[in-house]
Structure 1
Amino acid sequence: MYFLAPETELISGGSDKQLILWECNGTGAWTSQAVKSIPLKGHTEAVCAVDAVYQSDEPGLNLLIASAASDSTVRVWSRCGPEAKCIEILQFGNGFVMDVCLSFLPGSNVPVLGGDDCKISLFIQQNDQFQKALILSGHEDWIRGVEWAVCGEDLFLASCAQDCLIRIWKVCTKSKQLPETEDNSLRLKENIFTVKDTDTSYAVTLESVLAGHENWVYAVHWQPSISKDGSMQQPMRILSASMDKTMIIWEPDKESGVWLEQVRVGEVGGNTLGFFDGQFSPDGSMIVAHAFHGALHLWKQATVNKKEWTPEVVISGHFNSVEDVKWDPEGEFIISVGSDQTTRLFAPWKRKEATE
């Protein structure tokens, strides 16, 4: 499931082998009378991951969608106007893609697709086709999640895997790299590819490896961009969810730049099986997570001591495992989907003040 900003469109995929593009009428009222649905059919097995980006400044005109399914394919869809169609099928043979993420190369409008089948595969759209540009190796077990983030003029990719590690990769134009010197002992290995359409070379380097979880890491997410000084800025902050029953917030140290664990929250004891996924609130002051048994968990950052996070009363309602959860871009409500075949929309309960 993937929310698009502004919150008038929603992409969902499920075990019925199809995706659905939901379009609200723009009033913000997600009701059956106000929502139009467009089914996207083509996968032959259950859809397990979906992502989307707008290819134009005005939402609703041109939408690029990527979906991964257990049929070992990734399908790329394009929505122009009222219609959506599959424009490409990427075959992964015996591989199984567990997550996909779309973005644009730094300083360009060239889409880049990140997916995984034990290794991270980067696909670049050239001549209206997605071509494999690089394979990023390093993880030693199945990769469970990937997510892009644009920070300034650079593009960052976070990945997590069953090897209990998180890796952060940096993509930037080759011209921005430091000039070669005779002493290359301390230089990071660069993976270089060239986009023929623009004749621009890009370098991919491993920014950091984060070790702190003691079991499989199932999800990794960047904090959403925030508005600051009249522009949208990407906080260098990552949230990870693991089977070790903990959620960790990672940030680079202000002096050394080394990524460190800043906050760890979670559950102790009980019959929980760890966390399957989690998300920041839009301003990064809250964390919502869901466990394998379907329970939702919520933590809130203290107002005075920013490193103190306390558990909060959490919404509930699903009677089976929760499969996905997402904040809306404005932080006004949360939408969740579960294997109980229901989608639930949660919003604040605004009560009138008691009168004397």
Structure 2
Amino acid sequence: MTDTRGRIHPCFISIGANRIPAASDWDINSGLIAYGAGNVIALWRIDETEASPSGVFATLKGHTDNVSAVRFLDNTQDSESILLSGGVDKVLRVWRLVKSSDASEVPRYELLAQSLPHDGSIVDIAVERVGSKHNNTASERIRNGIIVASASADGSIKIWRLEISKEGGEVLTHLQTLTTKPKYFPLSIALAKLSSANKGDGVDAREKEETDVWILAVSGSSNSIQIFVGSTTESESDFTPSATLTGHENWIRSLSFVREANSDDLLLATGSQDRYIRLWRVHRGSALPAQSAGSKMMVMGQALSNKAHRFSAGSSKQDYSITFEALLVGHEDWVYSVSFRKDEADGKIKLLSASADNSLSIWEADETSGIWVCTARMGEASGMKGSSTATGSTGGFWTGLWSSDGNNVVSFGKNGGWRRWNNSREGEWVQKGAVAGHIRDVMGVSWEKEGKYLLSTSLDQSTRLYARWKSSKHRSFYEFSRPQIHGYDINSIVSISPTKFVSGADEKLMRVFGEPRGIAKMLEEMCGIQQADMESLPDVASQPVLGLSNKAVNTAPEENGEEEKEQNVEGQEYPPFEDSLSRHTLWPEEEKLYGHGYEISTIGCSNTGDVIATACKASSVSHAVIRMFETKTWRQLKPALEAHSLTVNRIAFSRDDVYMLSVGRDRQWTVFERVTEGLEEFSAPYKAMQVMPKAQTRVIFDGKWVPLEAGRAFVTAARDKTVKVWELQGKEWGCIETVKFEEPITAIDILDWVVDLEEGRFAVLAVGLESGAWSVYKAKVKESGGIEGWEQWIQVDGYVAPAKTITQIAWKPAGEDGSFEVAISSEDSSVRIYDIQT
């Protein structure tokens, strides 16, 4: 931070994973999980410590389009953490963890190098160190470099050499470009050392790098696996096609190599859309391995070819063979991911597979017969109720990752939410807490009126609720409910009471939701959030197949006991897991509000919660009206308020609800004054007081009121890169100050109370920019009333700021705990909560 008088600490980041199997990896050195989330890489710490909470703590910015491949260097000897990433922007990037002596500081990755672009999106990355891991010192390994392979959607695979020096000067050198023949779309690549010289070969250790031979497996939109073999030097490589493995009957989506502990053989696992996993053995020598002596294998009554694919490699032309080892049958849908793990202690090998049938499976070879069998299965049976509905389907598991000790596995589904299982007791895998988040632009956030929880909504057609879990060491925020899963992109949300909120989407109407009793009890037990009228709430909510309206359900347990058991989310040890969030935490819909002719653009609510004001996307005066509804019977208050000619972007009420402000695309603002006398029943309680045409030179995105202690004033922010302050002067509002920025301002919010600092009393303004950067400004409150001199107070570190345009900022209302927090939504699909320390 640039100002020592105020610091901002990110205390919560919610962001969903890109639905791409290759876009995630688990680092054995740092213990962190990295996954692509839009055009950023989210860093997730799974375990909570005394110094640091669990969850996503940062997002790496650098890619200009979606991240599609993430891979850590599997470096068992060094403590250094190296991360490689690729994306739709066609560029390969290399990151390194910067070590810090402060355990409480956010871990940071710095960008070391980036490649020249591919001709297509990068779809997968494979990486290995050059040289022997066991014989070289750490400095020699760094000198020897790293071999990287990156596959692209243009049908090519590029080979790179990465030199990392502790003194700097990192170099990423292109060595060779391979092409798939016949040309197909690569989906997965795997790289392994085929052999290396040893002392018995009579090769000088300095020349060992020259004799390292690599095997590269490539698969994709073809039913065969292409094998390339070659060696590398500092300036070139000579990979050549050596074999084509056939047997699968559909696209092959994942590959994984592992070396057996008691031999020099490699095992290759291949997972396909034909629902099967095949294992292949890469054997050194002219003689075939014992289990491959026969030419045919019988599996499930069918004869499978066991043809030996022979080739020579290395300067000595050493003979090798690849033979079919086993067919793993058990998944009922596409196999998205396969991943080997070898226990360093006993050399035991396990295989983790993830499938579209909503399951993760762990496979091991039987010690007696050598037959591979499924020893553990996690997830759901694919035929369970709701697996094909909007609220029930997890969409399969898109990846499977091992922890370094093999006691944890993680995966994510179509909603971008992660799931984790822990092997706490041998053979028993128990689901634990993980992270989740939106997977498309987050359009709005809204705190509950007293700041007890936060709501967010997104173009991914879902609404989410976050609250503090009181059992967490750090009282961290978690997602506790997914109140609305919709069929339209949701643009706006506002909380109107502790148990109700209103959302607006691309469907011309607003929907009112009420909290169900099950969620209220869970929030009471796990977050300490009390609800006075809990017994009057409906039990649970459900959504009909192909329906958009969540219906209240009050079914007695004896009538439908199994269903009631499924939907019970109370009394749990942890916040709801992803499968429960997407099925059992809906809120029932109480009302639909009609009147607008186009998609809803914004919703505002009075501070007392008695009325809401709504607007829709518009290109004419007749559609750019503001409609008002009272919140007891949900009747529309007429007439609609006419003031704008284009879309209204934001509606804000003054702290005492005397005034209402609207700002829009027509570059004007309007102040409405509350009518207190002579008001007929169901008449709009506001009338236009002042309209300011061309208040700013470009579209006005946001406008907010200052605290009453600071006088009658409001602030507007626009694309013209300025924030303007307007104060009531007599009976009209006039501009008293203009603050200039270097880029458009897309969102603002003002703290609803005055802050006491050493220098005096200040109004506090948060300003969000088009790039995702944001900062906090303060203005001194004069003793005679009013404010003056807006100046930057805190510049937020770009490492913890969003990567795309900020869509809304919301300060947490002053609560009993006196917390000083702000929530931010962004087009990078994240919801972030920051804590201000003064």
Is the shorter-chain TM-score for this pair beyond 0.5, marking a shared fold? Answer: yes
Does residue 41 of structure 1 match 2:119? no
Map 1:296-335 to 2 at 5 A.
296-303=418-425, 306-316=426-436, 318-320=437-439
* Structural RMSD (CA): 3.0
Q: Does residue 279 in structure 1 map to residue 401 in structure 2?
A: yes
Question: Residue 18 of structure 1 aligns to which amino acid in structure 2?
Answer: V
Contact 2:88 2:122 in 1 (8 A): yes
1:140 aligned counterpart, secondary structure:
coil
Q: CA deviation at 1:184?
A: 6.3
Give the Cα–Cα distance (whole angstroms) in 2 for the partners of residues 182 and 83 of structure 1: 46
Distance 2:321 2:184 in 1: 26
* Paired residues of 1:50 and 1:66 also in contact (CA < 8 A): yes
Tell me the alpha carbon deviations over residues 238-290 of structure 1, each in whole angstroms, 9 at most, x when there is no partner: 00000000111011112111001111111354221101001111111111111
8 Å contact 1:144–1:160 — kept in the other structure?
yes
Conserved 8 A contact 1:106-1:155: no
CA–CA separation in structure 1 for the residues paired with 2:279 and 2:100: 38
* Contact 2:415–2:438, Cα closer than 8 Å, also in 1: no
Pair 1:66 & 2:149 matched = yes
Aligned to 1:349: none
The match for 1:259 among 372, 376, 389 is 372
Report the residue type matching 1:112 in the other structure.
I
Distance 1:307 1:120, change over 3 A: same
Task: State how 1:219-238 maps to structure 2 within 5 Å.
Answer: 219-223=337-341, 225-228=342-345, 234-238=347-351
**Map of 1:132 onto structure 2:** 241
Report what 1:204 is aligned to.
Answer: 322
* Counterpart selection for 2:159 from 76, 85, 94: 76
Q: Secondary structure at the match of 1:60?
A: helix
Aligned-partner SS, 2:398: strand
- The answer on 1:248 being equivalent to 2:361 is yes
Show the counterpart of 2:352: 239
Distance 1:22 1:291 in 2: 26
One-letter identity of the residue aligned with 2:406 = G
TM-score (norm 1): 0.81
Task: State the Cα distance separating 1:307 from its structure 2 match.
Answer: 2.3
Q: Tell me which residue corresponds to 1:3.
A: 72
Q: CA–CA distance in 1 between the matches of 2:293 and 2:110?
A: 62
1:163 aligns with 2:274: yes
**Higher mean Cα deviation, 283-292 or 36-45?**
36-45
CA distance in 2, matches of 1:309, 1:342: 31
Question: Measured at CA, do residues 181 and 138 of structure 1 come closer, stay the same or move farther in structure 2, by a change above 3 Å?
Answer: closer
Pick the structure with more helix per residue.
2
Residue 20 of structure 1: SS of its match in structure 2? strand
Q: CA deviation at 1:226?
A: 3.5
User: CA deviation digits over 1:4-61, x for unaligned, max 9?
Assistant: 1244211011111111011234559996876243111221221110111010344433
Q: Distance in 2 between matches of 1:179 and 1:166?
A: 22
Label 1:37 to 1:184 Cα distance change in 2 as closer, same or farther (>3 A). closer
Q: Which structure carries more strand by proportion?
A: 1
Count of matched residue positions in the alignment of Structure 1 and Structure 2: 320
Q: Check 1:114–1:342 CA distance in 2 against 1; reply closer, same or farther (3 A cut).
A: farther
CA distance in 1: counterparts of 2:120 and 2:292, whole angstroms: 51
Q: 2:662 is matched with which residue?
A: none
Which position in structure 2 is the counterpart of 1:55? Answer: 130
| Range with greater deviation from structure 2 (210-219 or 101-110) | 101-110
Q: Is the 8 A contact 1:106 1:171 kept in 2?
A: no
Computing the radius of gyration from Cα coordinates, the structure with the larger value is 2
Q: Contact between 1:226 and 1:282, CA under 8 Å: does it hold in 2?
A: no
Unaligned stretches of 5+ residues in structure 1: 322-337, 345-356
- 1:152-207 per-residue CA deviation (whole Å, 9 max, x = no partner) reads 31111111010000011111112453589998677943111011512210011111
Cα distance in 1 for residues equivalent to 2:271 and 2:257? 12
- Structure 2 counterpart of 1:115: 218
Q: Which of 185, 200, 216 is residue 96 of structure 1 equivalent to? A: 185
Cα distance in 2, alignment partners of residues 170 and 94 from structure 1? 26
Q: Is the 8 A contact 1:160 1:220 kept in 2?
A: yes
Deviation at 1:311, TM superposition (A): 1.2
The separation in 2 between residues aligned to 1:168 and 1:184, in whole angstroms, is 16
Identity, in percent, stands at 27
Conserved 8 A contact 2:187-2:253? yes
For 1:202 and 1:182, locate their aligned partners in 2 and report how far apart those are by CA, in whole Å.
15
Question: Residue type of the partner of 2:177?
Answer: I
TM-score between both structures, scaled by the size of structure 2: 0.36
Match of 1:214 among 332, 336, 360: 332
Uncovered stretches (5+) of structure 2, i.e. residues with no partner? 1-69, 165-169, 198-211, 298-304, 441-802, 805-826, 832-838
- How far residue 94 of structure 1 moved from its aligned partner, in angstroms, is 3.3
